[in-house]
Structure 1
Amino acid sequence: MYSLVFKNVKVIDGVGNPWYYADVGIEGDKIVHVGRIEGADSRRIIEGKNMALAPGFIDMHSHSDLIFLSEKQAELLEGRIRQGITTEIMGNCGISVSPVRDEIKPVMEASVGFLTPADKPSWEWNNMAEYLDLVEKTGVVVNVGTLTGHGAIRALVKGFSGGISSPKEIEEMRGFLKETLEQGSFGLSSGLIYAPGMFADTNELTELGEIIADYDRIFTSHIRGSSETDIEAHQEILTIGEKAGCRIHRSHYEAVGKENWHKIETTLEMDEKARQRGIDMAFDMFPYTAANTMMIAIYPPWALDGGWPEFVKRVQDPGTRKKIENDIANVVPTWPTWLPGSWPHNLVKAAGWENIFIQFIPSEKNKKHEGCNLEELGLRSGESPFDAITDLLVEENGAITQLIFGVSGDRNDDSPLRTIMRHPLGGFCTDAWDIGQGRPSPAAYGTYPRILGKYVRDEKLLPLEDAVRRMTSFPANRLGLKGRGIIAEGYFADLVLFDPDNIRDLATYEDPRQFSEGIHYVIVNGQVLLENGEVGAIRPGRVLRK
């Protein structure tokens, strides 16, 4: 007896094969039959005529680390569920909430304030096993796993201070990394435009990459610079992959600022040549020309050395504050970026004050500024954009996020984005979150339907089967995620039933909280989570440990 049968669906298997008509039988949490099912005894049958059945979409670049500890997670993740996401991988961009020591918890909590929902957790954990156990105890609406943030393990050893790490310090980091891998982490992520990760040199990252190779995991990287130093920063991760022998993966492939869009062709060619040399290199990307990040990323590294309290002291000193402002206005980042006075990339110089928009502000008093760009903020405040955002950031304890435009294109020209999207080494991700406040990126609500509707159906940029592969078996293979990402007998029943003729995204930059259309059912581990626009009051997801 089947617990659930999909009848007469177009099966898109996730591997890239041409779609075919079949029935799919589920028993418990597994797919047990793919083919014709005649007169089957099933507790439930869903007729799928004219519908496509795909594996559940795997978002390998999520930032829901603290959302999964929220009692409101179903509400906060509804936009993701309704675009077909059944598995999320957290701990990206060098930012994971474990491991952590009690002494640095206040600084760590402050550094991820922008990812923290209103019912913020009490940070009861220290190591990764304790964190994952707590997530499991809370219960999850979709499947979830995590990477180890390089920033987290560096902070365990050196806090948020700069400087090149000593051999002893690197050995300590290697030990902490091993511990997390043995506790279920899928690999290591780095965020090399954020403190404290930005202070590491290539040697530190390579030595950590050796551990990743030993454990056959993945090393994902938000590289040091997607603008001025894009080519050098991209070469760095290829070098790490080659020297360490690890699987390397560039997160949210992009180029920031029109003057840097042309570099995309160069770095993609570098990737092809790297693979010819035996480097296991690939990437993910999102289908938008704007990206979300923390506002503090607009400041030079030396201003962030020591963490948030030290930054506040510096901007409250008139002379130091002026130097920071001058650096933002004038410094062009050069390689290597970890040396004193260097910089991964100057977001303001690359994109302009007018293209950096305030996405989220914690306090009710200042929420009126959400949605305005920094040039406009300066005009409202009667100050320079620098003074206006710096004062606001201090007032809000650093927890302001930004949406920056001009990323691999703009609203009038997304050809650089299309170049990335067409490349066979790429998969898809959201790199987005919604904590229930501010204006999230539309990617949190529309990524996968946007690809399947706008870029696949309407503009024929990719075949449907290949686009689905990049959302399913591609991330599963990169992560070493077993039993998911493919429609085949014996695989977990994470499935999405959608209408390929009508699927589309509705979320916009101005009004992002609009649910996508065309996805009718989402199944997680054999249970119906989404049915015709309604999310069930269940938590069928699982905590995935490598």
Structure 2
Amino acid sequence: MTTPIYDTVLHGGTLLDGSATPGYQADIGIQAGRIAAIAPAGSLHGQQQHDASGWIISPGFIDVHAHDDQQAVSAPAMQAKLTQGVTTVVVGNCGISLVPWVADRTPPAPLNLIGSQADYCYPTVAAYAAAVDAAGPTVNIGLLVGHSTLRVNVLDDPAQAASAAQVEQMQALLEEGMQSGALGFSSGLFYPTSKIAGNDEVIALAKVAARHGGVYTSHIRDEYAGVIDSIHEACDAGEAAGLQVVLSHHKCAGPANWGRSNESLACVTERRRRHPVGLDAYPYTAGSTTLNPDYVDGKIKVLVSWSEPHPEHNGRDLAEVAAEWGVDQKEAARRLSPAGGIYFQMHEDDVRRILAYPHTMIGSDGLPRDAHPHPRLWGAFPRVLGHYCREEKLFHLPEAIRRMTTLSADTFGLRRRGRLQVGCAADLVVFSPAHIRDTATFADPKQPAQGIHQVWVNGVLSVIDGVLTGQRGGRMLRRQQERFDEGQP
């Protein structure tokens, strides 16, 4: 019998397969971008051989909460994601997607977080997917269609209520998106572009995603005093439409709400008894979005992540800028706008409790267009593995990997991703559990992780010891093509 010769073999690594079970030593054979064999260490042969003994091999990390819509086309190296072991990103979160809209005006906040007027040039998801495939990013791209983008497309003023005819127009746009492979529908009812919309509008759109097996993710209406009511609103929409709900970047924001994660997670647990509900979170006590004077209260620290009229203040403390100008922080925020802000609005105890919740996936929520971004853009996943897993012992390593891989893949219908299994995509991370750590800080945020030896995307070796190889193996993920049945090629 002829011994198979695979394209590539990783020899003798300790495999954490995404199931939260203990690791085991084995070889992985890669053929045509997929995992073709998993066998006892030393038993496989390949045209290329890589010694992985002493390293952990896990599925590539899936960033379920990303805003890399434009980066996938304009900056396809995707260094910030790839160097932390991320091999797939889900874009279009918080109701903000680059598609479908051919912009006829300057994008209003929050759409300006991910692109300029020139960037909003895709009338359909099919057009955007073709652009991603042409660009050839280093990581895989999955897309959610954003509620705010649909509203801006259809309404001249998205602060106004939509008519029944306009809702039908949005449904038609979303229908095209789902037929073209989108993973689902996202909302951001917190933002002015969608705040006027009632849950009836959300449900009408979520039903379109549900017909195609998609998910509904929600940046809920209020993460402050109204967090519980807002969780129920999102869950009501998902239950009425009949699809999985994901609560985006779950938090209890503002000092008045610190400690309420016990209450919010109990609410999620109660709703899960009736309907599938998950959530994602990032491992920091600060969030980042547009700089809004209404959320500048002088009680929490705020950093300026970007400012269109005053870029000289990027990265600075808002309080210092206000003092220099002789105004209060709200007025400083007005003068800096359009701008972005980093808000230190969560308590560490809540962050830990939410991360430890068994149904929490990891998402960076990074904003790559920010001049001085939140460090989560570069460090979210190694921070979970290094700080919260190894140092704080919040969960054991196999469980941490599950929250970045299998749990995420199953939630978003990416059955060919997120697991070490024959037939699945060869998206792999080879790393040291003793050394993996984030180095990005709020002062110096654009820093790659340490402790990651190799990153493979669809069988393409894309990172070696923190350095990009220049090979780009990512592609657009279309929901219909990511289904997986045992024995399917």
Query: Contact conserved, 2:12 with 2:41, CA < 8 A, in 1?
Result: no
Separation (CA, whole Å) in 1 of partners of 2:403 and 2:147: 26
| Cα displacement (A) at 1:163 | 3.4
Q: Secondary structure at the match of 2:218?
A: strand
- Return closer, same or farther for 1:4/1:164 CA change in 2, 3 Å cut-off: same
Aligned match for 1:377, one of 311, 321, 324 = 321
| Cα displacement (A) at 1:374 | 2.6
Report whether the alignment pairs 1:389 with 2:386: no
Query: Contact conserved, 1:358 with 1:373, CA < 8 A, in 2?
Result: yes
| Cα displacement (A) at 1:494 | 0.3
Match of 1:490 in 2: 423
Separation (CA, whole Å) in 1 of partners of 2:88 and 2:396: 23
Write the mapping of 1:117-196 to structure 2, written as runs, cut at 5 A: 123-196=120-193
Return the letter of the residue paired with 2:319: E
Gaps of 5+ in 2: 480-489
Return the letter of the residue paired with 1:498: F
Cα deviation, 1:218-237, whole Å, max 9, x if unaligned, reads 00000011112111111111
| Cα displacement (A) at 1:110 | 7.4
| Cα displacement (A) at 1:37 | 5.4
Report whether the alignment pairs 1:417 with 2:351: yes
Write the mapping of 1:16-415 to structure 2, written as runs, cut at 5 A: 16-36=20-40, 38=42, 40-70=44-74, 72-74=75-77, 77-101=78-102, 104-108=103-107, 112-116=111-115, 123-277=120-274, 279-295=275-291, 298=292, 328=294, 347-349=295-297, 352=298, 354-362=300-308, 366-393=310-337, 398=338, 400-407=339-346, 409=347, 414-415=348-349
Match of 2:435 in 1: 502
Cα deviation, 1:90-136, whole Å, max 9, x if unaligned, reads 111100111114xx43233875443349xx96544211111111121
Q: Which has the higher strand share?
A: 2
Q: Percent of counterpart pairs with the same letter?
A: 32
| Cα displacement (A) at 1:57 | 0.3
Match of 2:485 in 1: none
Match of 1:470 in 2: 403
Aligned match for 2:452, one of 501, 513, 519 = 519
Query: Contact conserved, 2:113 with 2:289, CA < 8 A, in 1?
Result: no
Query: Contact conserved, 1:141 with 1:540, CA < 8 A, in 2?
Result: yes
Q: Secondary structure at the match of 1:108?
A: coil
Q: TM-score, normalised by structure 1?
A: 0.83
- Return closer, same or farther for 1:13/1:428 CA change in 2, 3 Å cut-off: same
Separation (CA, whole Å) in 2 of partners of 1:356 and 1:220: 27
Aligned match for 2:461, one of 528, 533, 543 = 528
Cα deviation, 1:75-95, whole Å, max 9, x if unaligned, reads xx2122111000011111100
| Cα displacement (A) at 1:25 | 1.0
- Return closer, same or farther for 1:502/1:30 CA change in 2, 3 Å cut-off: same
Q: Secondary structure at the match of 1:2?
A: strand
Separation (CA, whole Å) in 2 of partners of 1:199 and 1:87: 33
- Return closer, same or farther for 1:38/1:378 CA change in 2, 3 Å cut-off: closer
Query: Contact conserved, 1:227 with 1:256, CA < 8 A, in 2?
Result: yes
Say what the alpha-carbon RMSD is for the aligned residues: 1.9
Return the letter of the residue paired with 2:296: V
Query: Contact conserved, 1:221 with 1:250, CA < 8 A, in 2?
Result: yes
Q: Which has the higher helix share?
A: 1
Q: How many residues align?
A: 475
- Return closer, same or farther for 1:529/1:358 CA change in 2, 3 Å cut-off: same
Aligned match for 1:537, one of 461, 470, 483 = 470
- Return closer, same or farther for 1:430/1:55 CA change in 2, 3 Å cut-off: same
Larger CA deviation: 522-531 vs 244-253: 244-253
Query: Contact conserved, 1:354 with 1:373, CA < 8 A, in 2?
Result: no
Q: Secondary structure at the match of 1:439?
A: coil
Q: Secondary structure at the match of 2:105?
A: helix
Cα deviation, 1:426-483, whole Å, max 9, x if unaligned, reads 1101000323x62111111111111111111112110111110110111111110121
Return the letter of the residue paired with 1:52: I
Separation (CA, whole Å) in 1 of partners of 2:118 and 2:57: 37
Q: Secondary structure at the match of 2:322?
A: helix
Q: Secondary structure at the match of 2:106?
A: helix
Query: Contact conserved, 1:66 with 1:121, CA < 8 A, in 2?
Result: no
Cα deviation, 1:191-217, whole Å, max 9, x if unaligned, reads 112131112111111222222222221
Separation (CA, whole Å) in 1 of partners of 2:257 and 2:438: 28
Separation (CA, whole Å) in 1 of partners of 2:167 and 2:345: 37
Query: Contact conserved, 1:357 with 1:404, CA < 8 A, in 2?
Result: yes
Query: Contact conserved, 2:12 with 2:42, CA < 8 A, in 1?
Result: no
Gaps of 5+ in 1: 300-327, 329-346
Separation (CA, whole Å) in 2 of partners of 1:475 and 1:218: 12
Separation (CA, whole Å) in 1 of partners of 2:115 and 2:7: 37
Separation (CA, whole Å) in 1 of partners of 2:147 and 2:323: 38
Query: Contact conserved, 2:63 with 2:89, CA < 8 A, in 1?
Result: yes
Return the letter of the residue paired with 2:88: T
Separation (CA, whole Å) in 2 of partners of 1:162 and 1:80: 34
Match of 1:434 in 2: 368
